[in-house]
Amino acid sequence: MFTGKPYEEYFSFPSGNGSRLAFDNDTGDILVWNSNGTLVDNVTKDVEPRPGLYYYRATLDFYGVFTLYYYPRNPSGGASWSVSKAWPPNICGAFVNSALSVGQNRYGIGPCGCNGICETIDARPNCSCLPGFSFLDDNNHYAGCKQDYAGDPGDCSPDGSTIREDRFEFQNISFVNFPLSDYGIFHPATGLECQQSCLRDCSCAVSIYPTTKNNGDATCFKKQLPLSNWYRDANLDSTVLVKVLKSDASKKQRAASKKKPATRNNQAIVILSVLLGTFVVLASISLIFFCLFRRRLHDLSGVRSPSRRDLETNLQFFTYKDLEHATNRFSEELGRGAFGTVYKGELPSIYGNRVAVKKLDKFAQDGEREFTTEVKVIGQTHHKNLVRLIGYCDEAEHRLLVYEFMQNGSLSSFLFGVPRPSWQQRLQIASMVAKGLAYLHEECSKQIIHCDIKPQNILLDESFTAKISDFGLAKLLMNDKTRTKTGIRGTKGYVAPEWFRNTPVTVKVDVYSFGVMLLEIICCRRCVEVEMEEAAILTDWAFQCYSEGMIGKVVENDEEARNDVETLEMLLKVAIWCVQEDPLLRPSMRIVAMMLEGVVQVPNPPCLFPPNSMSMSMSVSSFECC
């Protein structure tokens, strides 16, 4: 056991026993140890051959194998780096064991990607594809495999059965298995019954049954795409039946035999070609006249195309009449915020049809010139985690912004609805929002403090990509203004303490609000819930649970989160750092994003409300890369 010895954890191996790679700071040894503190291996102790005659180097490859190599100090010719030790010795089996022990999604798709077969050779994963599959990238066999026949909607009937079963056949492979995600299991079954069941099932791509039990007492496992963590082992007692499309060579041969040279047929083809060409020309002319007529009718009805486009930002200028017509006189309200009301609208397809139009009825009227300048700053911000601004209107007293339409609404509705989002979805959303804020604070041309980060201002598109809205509307900072003293902005529960003090406001107010929202994402509950009595304030309650070692309590009814204790603890520590009272203690959003990605190690946070918090400071070196 490691008791009292300083060591630094470096890497967590994909193995079921939670193995870690660590460095002993006293001896310089490289150690492999279990999560319970038991030493598994001292990689650098008693290495063979002896160190005096050889150079050594160690690598940690992207697929998760730590390898120690040696090379002779006095090579006699033809020498090369040779493997002394490798951990884990069977990387393919390690991924499978981990998936079995903690759930198949914990370590993703394995070293060989989706539909790839992994075989450990010299401690490295050697990747191959199932019959009927080929590599996605011929230059990178770790990227996975794709099915050569992508399928056709006509393959399946409405009840899920296969149409024209005679088009498919099975190819057998042995000593290969994937022990997870069986969507269909039946027992007892013979090999033929297992094959026929998969053939009739349109969703079935592969079926597996034991090789030795062919007396009808075996269990048949059916699997559908995508497949992950396939591995090859000579000791496996299983037969894999892969459903593939039959060769269509006979069809091509029959088609070729029907092709007879015929002069009359050739003449007919020429005549038909002339007639078809004439028809196409006439149809094109008719289409042009139709479009011109429709454009004229469109103008007469009062819906005009936008009159100008800003070349610098690619923003489109709209007239108020354009947007009034697009929103059907602002009839369908999507939501209300601190700066106005948002309405659903429809524009020509070049803008993606549906849009969100924000009426800035609460916007400070500082003149057309300043409004246009601020809008252009927003238009110059481009990031996949920011809601895209399409255009604007600054006609007379009207101030409107036109955004891309976000199909899945706000994070608030998604997070606090029933059922709750999955643990993995919540982790991805937290990471996306952190990256978007880091861009606003450090990467866009003019630094932007959002001032109102909360779930209502995080929107989700059709693929549930999280995007920040309302950025740039609270306060835009020029390059020579890094702080501002102003009135309190934001929403109760998310407002940083410095808003209530006579102290400068910086980007750290967004870090605080993000920390509160991160706790909401973890717990799927709002930051203030009066009816919960002692747990009414989420930040206080979460810190109490963390400090008392009861982190599972914050996700008490979330089995998926409770099974991922390491990630849960990491997220709680990040959130506690973000909501520190002293802004100097809070990390930047760039560091937060790196923490959530696992690139930066998260140190243990201090007390959330230390008595001398305002006098404390923290060096950036506390957030060092792993």
- Give the integer Cα–Cα distance in Å for 14 and 126: 17
Annotated binding-site ranges for ATP: 359
Q: Which whole number is the average pLDDT over 107-134?
A: 82
Confidence at residue 589, expressed as pLDDT on a 0 to 100 scale: 95
- Give the integer Cα–Cα distance in Å for 293 and 308: 22
Find the catalytic residue in 201, 394, 452, 558: 452
Confidence at residue 264, expressed as pLDDT on a 0 to 100 scale: 53
Peptide bond into 603 cis (omega under 30): no
Query: Residue 125 above 60 pLDDT?
Result: yes
Question: Using 50, 70 and 90 to split pLDDT, how confident is the model at 313?
Answer: low
Which of these CATH numbers, 3.10.450.50, 3.50.4.10, 3.20.20.140, 3.40.50.150, describes 104-247? Answer: 3.50.4.10
pTM: 0.50
Confidence at residue 522, expressed as pLDDT on a 0 to 100 scale: 95
- Give the integer Cα–Cα distance in Å for 9 and 24: 9
- Give the integer Cα–Cα distance in Å for 168 and 539: 58
Which of these CATH numbers, 3.30.2010.10, 3.30.200.20, 3.30.530.20, 2.40.30.10, describes 299-405? Answer: 3.30.200.20
- Give the integer Cα–Cα distance in Å for 448 and 438: 10
Q: Name residues whose C-beta falls within 8 Å of residue 550's C-beta, 6 or more positions apart in sequence.
A: none
CB 233 within 8 A of CB 206: no
CA dihedral 94, 100, 106, 110 (to 10 degrees): 50
With tokens 């709209």, the residue in question is: 318
With tokens 């059907």, the residue in question is: 328
- Portions of the chain given CATH number 1.10.510.10: 414-626
Question: Using 50, 70 and 90 to split pLDDT, how confident is the model at 377?
Answer: confident
CA dist 334 to 327, 359, 464, Å? 11, 12, 18
Question: Using 50, 70 and 90 to split pLDDT, how confident is the model at 25?
Answer: low
User: Which of 114-128, 235-249, 427-441, 481-495 ranks highest by mean pLDDT?
Assistant: 427-441
CA dist 305 to 177, 321, 324, 325, 392, Å? 60, 11, 13, 12, 13
- Give the integer Cα–Cα distance in Å for 220 and 235: 19
Per-residue model confidence as pLDDT tens digits over 546-604: 999 999 999 988 999 999 999 999 999 999 999 999 999 999 999 999 999 998 899 99
Confidence at residue 52, expressed as pLDDT on a 0 to 100 scale: 66
For the range 525-533, what are the long-range contacts, defined as Cβ-Cβ under 8 Å and sequence gap of 24 or more? 525/416, 526/416, 526/493, 527/493, 527/494, 528/492, 528/493
- Give the integer Cα–Cα distance in Å for 29 and 47: 11
Confidence at residue 250, expressed as pLDDT on a 0 to 100 scale: 38
Nearest residue to 521 via CA among 482, 480, 574, 478: 574
- Give the integer Cα–Cα distance in Å for 578 and 555: 20
Q: Name residues whose C-beta falls within 8 Å of residue 177's C-beta, 6 or more positions apart in sequence.
A: 208, 230, 231, 233, 236, 238, 240
Peptide bond into 210 cis (omega under 30): no
Query: Residue 40 above 80 pLDDT?
Result: no
Residues present in the chain in total: 626
Confidence at residue 343, expressed as pLDDT on a 0 to 100 scale: 94
Question: Using 50, 70 and 90 to split pLDDT, how confident is the model at 91?
Answer: confident
Question: Using 50, 70 and 90 to split pLDDT, how confident is the model at 258?
Answer: very low
Annotated binding-site ranges: 359
Q: Which residues pair with 221 in a beta bridge?
A: 185, 208
- Portions of the chain given CATH number 3.50.4.10: 104-247
Q: Name residues whose C-beta falls within 8 Å of residue 532's C-beta, 6 or more positions apart in sequence.
A: 541
Tokens in use for 44?
């650098």
- Portions of the chain given CATH number 3.30.200.20: 299-405
Confidence at residue 261, expressed as pLDDT on a 0 to 100 scale: 47
- Give the integer Cα–Cα distance in Å for 24 and 394: 64
Q: Which whole number is the average pLDDT over 487-507?
A: 78
What topology does CATH give the domain 414-626?
Transferase(Phosphotransferase); domain 1 (1.10.510)
452 is catalytic: yes
Per-residue model confidence as pLDDT tens digits over 271-312: 777 777 777 777 878 777 776 666 555 544 444 444 455 656
Neighbours of 438 (CB within 10 A): 21
- Give the integer Cα–Cα distance in Å for 191 and 198: 11
Confidence at residue 50, expressed as pLDDT on a 0 to 100 scale: 63
Question: Using 50, 70 and 90 to split pLDDT, how confident is the model at 107?
Answer: very low
